[in-house]
Structure 1
Amino acid sequence: PDEFHERYPDSEEPGLRNNAYTNVMVAWLCGRAVELAEQLPARRREALRACMGLTDEEIDVWTDMSRRMFVPFHGDGIISQFEGYECLLELDWEAYRSRYGNIQRLDRILKAAGDDPARYQVTKQADTVLLFFLFLPDELGAIFERLGYPFQPDTLRKNLAYYDARTSHGSTLSFVVHAGVLAGVDLAASWQRYMTALESDISDVQGGTTAEGIHAGVMAGTVDVLQRFYLGERVRDGVLYLSPMAIDGLAGSSLTLRFRGSSLTITHSERRLRVAAREDGYAPAVKVGLGDAVHELRPGEHCVLEY
């Protein structure tokens, strides 16, 4: 759960039915487990099954779960955060922002007023939206197709708009997730969330938590957004493909990463990327591409990719 909802309103029993994120991830996990078992060499597969005591019946259950997990929907293609989420009350967000300013910890505000966040369609941090952060649209579409659910071209936009309006971002990790998902929808809004996440500890946006320790997950998450969303890093057929977004704030930035044993430094300038392989006699040649152009880099070489 997103921490604002650990039970249904007026229920004494903890727990929620069919969290969409959990069910989709279980379906994906089971599907990948079966796929991995099928890809292993026969002798290795049988040895692993014997070691784990894994039976054909269990693998059949995994296959079944990868195809039949329930995902709740409501309205016009909105993935319900959990079963019954749409039945909760709507909150007057503007009224609370006007009165309290920072409402990241909306749960504390509601509880202090004798209310209960479990009554409302309010989310502390990215929950359903996390699916669009972890998977590319075609990957998530394939999971939903396997489960027998529709996944339309506007599914991402609809769900992002719905949950963005209902999320208080009480966790700085939430800004990371929304920055990544927004990158392909509203680049300016994505960059604003990204900068909030980047500055979260420096500016102590949560009011006192920096003294307790930095948010290492957020720090790593901002690098992940930079690589996967803003630079568009994808590995396909042994090639590191880049699909950068035109963001003025990234001009002059540089990062170093390792790809297939080679250390690459990527420097971003206006509509141009310079990719340099560190001089290392032991590193193998690697391939880097943008669009249809693919360059092979040996240690000490570089290429310039324009977009």
Structure 2
Amino acid sequence: MKDYIKIDEWRIIEEGFDPHLNKVSESIFSLGNGRMGQRANFEEQYSGPSLQGNYVAGVYYPDKTRVGWWKNGYPDYFAKVLNAANWIGIGVEIDGTEIDLAKLPVEDFRRELNMREGYLLRTCTVVLEEGRKLKIEAKRFCSIVDDEVGAIRYAITPLGFSGKATLTPYIDFDVKNQDANYDEKFWEEVSREMEDEAAYVTARTRKTGFDVCTGMTFALTQAGTPVTPRTIPIESEKYTAHIFTVSILDGEETVLTKFAANISSENHDRSLLQDVCQRAVQQARAKGFDKMVEEQAAAWAAKWAESDIIIEGDVAAQQAIRFNIFQLNQTYTGEDPRLNIGPKGFTGEKYGGSTYWDTEAYCLPFYLATADPQVGRNLLLYRYKQLGKAIENAQKLGFTDGAALYPMVTMNGEECHNEWEITFEEVHRNGAIAHAIYDYVRYTGDESYLADYGVDVLVAISRFWAQRVNFSEEKGQYVMLGVTGPNEYENNINNNWYTSTIALWTLNYTLEVLAKIKAENPARYAVLDMELGLEEGREFGTWRAIIDNMFLPEDPKRGIKLQQEGYLDKEQILVKDLPASERPLNQKWSWDRILRSCFIKQADVLQGMFLLEDQFDLDTIRRNFEFYEPRTVHESSLSPCVHAVLAARLGMEEKAYEMYLRTARLDLDDYNNDTEDGCHTTSMAGTWMAVVQGFGGMRVRDGQLHFRPMLPAKWSGFSFRIRFRGAVVKVHVGRNGVQIEADKPLTVFVNDEAVAVGQTPVTELVG
């Protein structure tokens, strides 16, 4: 755990420069706008540890899967989120000395991510020879108003001397990924062009053929007065720049303002990319940096009005929740149904792919409650449109008759994850996708989605589950063999309770949906019957037989569900008895040792009880929580939030608060020693759930909102705002009770008591 980020309600602040923490900070201070993103790399040269990262949404490369022994069914490639052009770069030399923060002494270093207004500000003083100093102030943002544009205000001020500054704003497409096989590069130049105070490079990805034109223009002022420097164009393969030298005076500020754009063939005709890029950067320049900053602040104010959570009396908790919400809003806007939410968002390369099951299990609730309903619908449509590929994925593994296995990792619907124990065995992802359909309909009331789209997905997933189980003559029940649950610290196990339970739930829900459509919309059912080849006798009968006769491992003595068959054969040691020096396990222990231990990356059983809470009484949840939580190391970023929600439901305030901080400050404090690879973007939605579903106790039952609030002892109050079926509901939990306000008449339930809330500004107070 690292503790160097200063506590502030609206800002993430780093004071003092430690090169050993730089890659962590590059992740934490990342910027994005849903269409593009940029790690917090320095504009000037930096030769120290760094992960250069600029990402363009939807652009990827199918890198060859690397495995020791190839097995039938392996995906042909591992999709990499590509590092694209360095658009922020500005070379700086002062009297012939290159400014490199890895080589020159740095004083008064400060980095600030302003979450309220959506920009990154960095200031520092670089010590040159003979005691001369150069003050640097760099402010930048990725515009959420003009979402293909970024802007930088880069200012230098000599302190105690006058001299010459050589500045080189550039575009560099000669980049590579940190995780590239054999340091392979993925971009090939298509064209480049230089103009007065502007430059462009268009490059194409190998294999996939995505074209991106990245361009820039710039302006210079000195002492507030515009200056037109005499520039020299520089060109080389995949690189364009302008270089110029100006006199700088002691105490006088020289400002280079740089406007850049990333224009992708995903969104524009490839033959027009440079024209579009030219217009984008020139329009940004005409608008001006200050105007763009104003627009950025206004756009972020609107986002915060929809999604902010206010925590009173605990600044660390307040900073953490806003950081998580900020990153979620930077990553996904819902405006393009072709896009999804990668596990690192725009903050790093690790894991590749544009979506995991994280989207459905963790992210969907956030967007359902804080954005227009179409945003959540787009997340589901993303999967619906890839149903054909999911069926192909299942066929590659030997499944038939329209069975679908959605990929663990994907860009276009094809599986592109290259670890066998996950690609072949972590099939529970199908259940999360099915549950997301239920969650969306339950929350929005959009029943039409089921008949038009959702049922096709549910049937295909159910057909997979029906083929994935087999009947055990030994047990006289159906079993599911050779799987990996969410707890990836156990592989190739039999009868994982969570996987089997979510499979049974899916089969049952699919049958319910089909029966409902048949009763209420027989014409649509007739079409489905023809298109999907439904067999109510044989097929539905098989599904019901599995539902009624599935083996689910339990320990009746302890009254718990078992992670998997044989879990209690493991030596039972508690996490509290592990030396701190041996954690995180995935960085200190061999994989063999991890697999043989009882330690849990994230608790499968508790995941099931979190998603399917209404199927279990509180005593059952409590027994399982009290057994599994002490054995869980929470080395999955998706783990603590589930524990926080369940602990709150069980009235375990201290544990709920502990787990909230663990998930909310996972990246800010680098709990798992891996933030340098990028932030855990999808788990950030779990932080929102920890507050709203955990401490707020928000649930939807029978089409109505329920709240069961809990106020942590360290908080004097908290409030959040959610959308629900056309209403905007504001909830404040304080020491004197719960205030609920809505902009239309609505009945909600607080601690199972019905409460009528009226139109704004009417507020009801309940104890």
Which band: TM-score by shorter chain? 0.7 to 0.9
1:154 aligns with 2:639: no
Aligned to 1:109: 588
Q: Which runs of 4+ in 1 moved over 6 A?
A: none
Q: Are residue 229 (structure 1) and residue 694 (structure 2) matched?
A: yes
Q: Which residue of 2 aligns with 1:59?
A: 540
Alignment check: 8 A CA contact 2:723 2:729 kept:
yes
Q: 1:301 to 1:60 in 2, by over 3 A?
A: farther
Q: Which residue of 1 aligns with 2:670?
A: 204
Distance 1:193 1:161 in 2: 14
What is the one-letter code of the residue matched to 1:53? G
Q: Which runs of 5+ in 2 are unaligned?
A: 1-483
Within the candidate set 632, 635, 639, 1:170 is matched to 635
2-structure distance, mates of 1:167, 1:237: 33
Matched, 1:130 2:607: yes
CA distance, structure 1, for counterparts of residue 701 and residue 627 of structure 2: 33
Distance in 2 between residues matched to 1:50 and 1:173, nearest whole Å: 40
Task: Quote the offset at 1:165 in angstroms.
Answer: 1.8
Structure-2 residue corresponding to 1:146 = none
Calculate the TM-score normalised by the size of structure 2: 0.34
**Aligned match of 1:68:** 549
Q: Say if 1:257 and 1:263, in contact at 8 Å, map to a contact too.
A: yes
> Which residue of 78, 81, 84 corresponds with 2:560?
78
1:195 aligns with 2:661: yes
Map 1:241-280; keep pairs closer than 5 Å: 241-278=706-743
Larger radius of gyration: 2
Q: Are the structure 2 counterparts of residues 118 and 235 from structure 1 closer, same or farther at C-alpha, using a change threshold of 3 Å?
A: closer
CA shift in 2, pair 1:199/1:153, >3 Å: closer
Structural RMSD (CA): 2.3
In 1, distance between residues paired with 2:568 and 2:662? 29
Do the aligned residues in 2 keep the contact of 1:179 with 1:191 (CA within 8 Å)? Answer: yes
**Secondary structure at the counterpart of residue 263 of structure 1:** strand
Q: CA deviation at 1:237?
A: 4.8
Q: What is the alpha-carbon distance in structure 1 between the residues aligned to residue 509 and residue 705 of structure 2?
A: 23
Deviates more, 1:168-177 or 1:155-164: 155-164
Q: Does 1:216 align with 2:681?
A: yes
Instruction: Name the counterpart of 1:89.
Output: 571
Q: Report the CA distance shift for 1:46/1:301 in structure 2 as closer, same or farther (over 3 A).
A: farther
Letter in 2 for 1:4: Y
Shift in alpha-carbon separation, 1:95–1:190, aligned structure 2, 3 A? closer
Residue matched to 1:303: 763
Q: Does 1:119 align with 2:596?
A: yes
CA distance in 2, matches of 1:94, 1:235: 36
The secondary structure found in structure 1 opposite 2:543 is helix
In 1: Cα distance, 2:498 partner to 2:600 partner: 13
Residue 28 of structure 1 pairs with residue 505 of structure 2? yes
Measure the CA separation in 2 of the matches of 1:242 and 1:128. Answer: 24
- How far apart are 1:173 and its partner, in Å? 1.6
Name whichever structure is richer in strand by fraction. Answer: 2
Q: Deviations over 1:95-123 (max 9, x none)?
A: 5325x16x2x32442218xx522222111
Which residue pairs with 1:9 in the alignment? none
Contact 1:157 1:185 in 2 (8 A): no
In structure 2, relative to structure 1, the CA distance for the partners of 1:49 and 1:225 (3 Å cut) is: farther
Distance change in 2, residues 1:116/1:306 (3 Å): same
What is the distance in 2 between the residues matched to 1:235 and 1:93?
34
CA distance in 2, matches of 1:272, 1:204: 35
**Greater Cα shift, 187-196 or 246-255:** 246-255
Shift of 1:205: 1.3
Shift in alpha-carbon separation, 1:185–1:264, aligned structure 2, 3 A: closer
- The answer as to whether partners of 2:741 and 2:757 remain within 8 angstroms in 1 is no
Q: How many residues align?
A: 275
Amino acid at match of 2:559: G
Q: CA deviation at 1:80?
A: 1.3
State the shift of 1:93 in Å: 4.3
Task: Quickly say closer, same or farther: Cα 1:153–1:17, change in 2 above 3 A.
Answer: same
